[in-house]
Amino acid sequence: MILAIETSCDDSAVALLNLNGDVIISQISSQIELHQKYGGIVPEIASRKHLTTLPLLLRSLMESHDLNLKDLKAIAVTYAPGLIGSLLVGVSYAKTLAWMLNIPVIPIDHLEGHLLAPFLDNKEIRFPYLALIASGGHTHLIQASGLGDYKLLGRTMDDAAGEAYDKVAKMLGFQYPGGPLIEQLTACCPEPTITFPVPLKGKKTLNFSFSGLKTAVRNEAIRQKVYTEGQRLITFEEYLDIPDADRKNRIANIAASFQKIMTVIMAERMADALKKTGLKQMALTGGVAANTGIRASLSRLATRRGVQVFFPEVGNCTDNAAMIGYTAVQYMNGGITNFEPVLNLNASSKSPIGLMDIQV
């Protein structure tokens, strides 16, 4: 059995997996309530919270399954990329535990965890496949040809897709995180009427850009007077209580129009990448993969193109330790066991698998 630890951003997560990569238990402690009112993650608060949450999570995990730490064969931990303070908490915790138990630490790249997450819930997915990792920190289009054999086909030139959701929600006066909130608002406006510009339209590129779209949404929000700078950020429940029905409709219309264009952008890029690579399988992963509208538009694309599409279950789209443990088991089973001495391991804010650095 292996223990997996993930603390790269604001979620503290632990999981236990057997040596076949089957998840025995996966637990996540969300810090959303602590960051909500700031409209985004506050790194210093995140790392301090990991420090107190992680030992409690691990204890409850072991107790709930009546397990002994001595049953652990290795510890997998996210060591990059992410918020350095948050990563350091998980890495230090993993190192200490592994050193005490005299077992290896397997350092895992968070992006590789997201990339392989579709395997957790889909028995049919195989290499090679086209993957779009869309999260709060990354938007990477990747050809995954085998374990550790990844080619970056495109990426965002400015904000990440999840970041765009979070910023748009904030512009409309809402708390963090924006993705689920924009989905709730979209359900309030079945026929959005605003046509936002499609970024990079007509350009032959597999890259993404969300900053122009974000500015267009901001201008529309100012024009329609839905939010005043400095106003307290609200929740969806508070939105429902707004007495002015016309203002509510204006907010929902902007949110739903933004959601509509995001589904178009994601499907267009995936369509172009399928054409370019000739791949027959695609996967959407990362926090934004929880979005039902985007899932539906990729499913329609898959049907039109006669390819298969895979998504992790919603709980495995956002940050979790199961995907980190799964990736570690693949390396162990692939015969890679010469992991660095436990005490040499360090955290890094940059991705070591190089996906961040390749110019496209």
Residue 135 interacts with Zn ion (CB under 5 A)?
yes
User: Which DSSP category does 227 fall into?
Assistant: -
Residue 136 interacts with ligand KG4 (CB under 6 A)?
yes
# chain residues binding ligand KG4, by CB under 6 A: 20
CA–CA gap between residue 286 and residue 81 (Å, rounded): 14
112 binds, among Zn ion, ligand KG4, none (CB under 5 to 8 A by kind): none
SS3 sequence of 25-81? EEEEECCHHHHHHHCCCCHHHHHHHHHHHHHHHHHHHHHHCCCCHHHCCEEEEEEEC
- How crowded is residue 40: how many other Cβ atoms within 10 Å of its Cβ? 17
Q: Which is nearer to ligand KG4, 9 or 152 (CB)?
A: 9
Q: Which stretch binds ligand KG4 (CB under 6 A): 27-35, 132-140, 142-150, 229-237?
A: 132-140
The kind and range of the H/E element at 284 are: strand 281-285
Figure out which of the listed residues 179, 192, 199, 325 binds ligand KG4, where binding follows CB under 6 A: 179
Residue 159 interacts with ligand KG4 (CB under 6 A)?
no
Residue 288 interacts with ligand KG4 (CB under 6 A)?
yes
Residue 327 interacts with Zn ion (CB under 5 A)?
no
**Which strands, in side-by-side order, build the sheet including 23-29?**
23-29, 12-17, 2-6, 74-80, 105-109
Q: Which stretch binds ligand KG4 (CB under 6 A): 83-91, 173-181, 194-202, 204-212?
A: 173-181
Q: Which is nearer to Zn ion, 251 or 317 (CB)?
A: 317
Give the CA radius of gyration of the chain. 21
Residue 135 interacts with ligand KG4 (CB under 6 A)?
yes
The torsion defined by the Cα of 132, 76, 290 and 175, in degrees rounded to 10, comes to -110
CA–CA gap between residue 206 and residue 156 (Å, rounded): 9
To the nearest whole angstrom, how small is the minimum distance from the Cβ of residue 298 to ligand KG4?
13
Q: Which is nearer to ligand KG4, 179 or 199 (CB)?
A: 179
Residue 166 interacts with Zn ion (CB under 5 A)?
no
Q: Which stretch binds Zn ion (CB under 5 A): 122-130, 132-140, 156-164, 252-260?
A: 132-140
Tell me the β-bridge partners of 116.
Answer: none
The kind and range of the H/E element at 107 are: strand 105-109
Angle between helices 211-223 and 161-171 (to 10 degrees): 10
To the nearest whole angstrom, how small is the minimum distance from the Cβ of residue 166 to ligand KG4?
5
Residues 209-238, interacting with ligand KG4 (CB under 6 A): none
The kind and range of the H/E element at 140 are: strand 139-146
179 binds, among ligand KG4, Zn ion, none (CB under 5 to 8 A by kind): ligand KG4
To the nearest whole angstrom, how small is the minimum distance from the Cβ of residue 101 to Zn ion?
27
- Coil, strand or helix at 255: helix
Q: Which is nearer to ligand KG4, 62 or 261 (CB)?
A: 261
Q: Which stretch binds ligand KG4 (CB under 6 A): 17-25, 135-143, 272-280, 298-306?
A: 135-143
Yes or no: say if 83 and 9 are a contact pair by the CB < 8 Å rule: yes
Residue 177 interacts with ligand KG4 (CB under 6 A)?
yes
Q: Enumerate binding residues for Zn ion (CB under 5 A).
A: 135, 319
Q: Enumerate binding residues for ligand KG4 (CB under 6 A).
A: 9, 135-137, 162-163, 165-166, 177-180, 183, 286-288, 290-291, 318-319
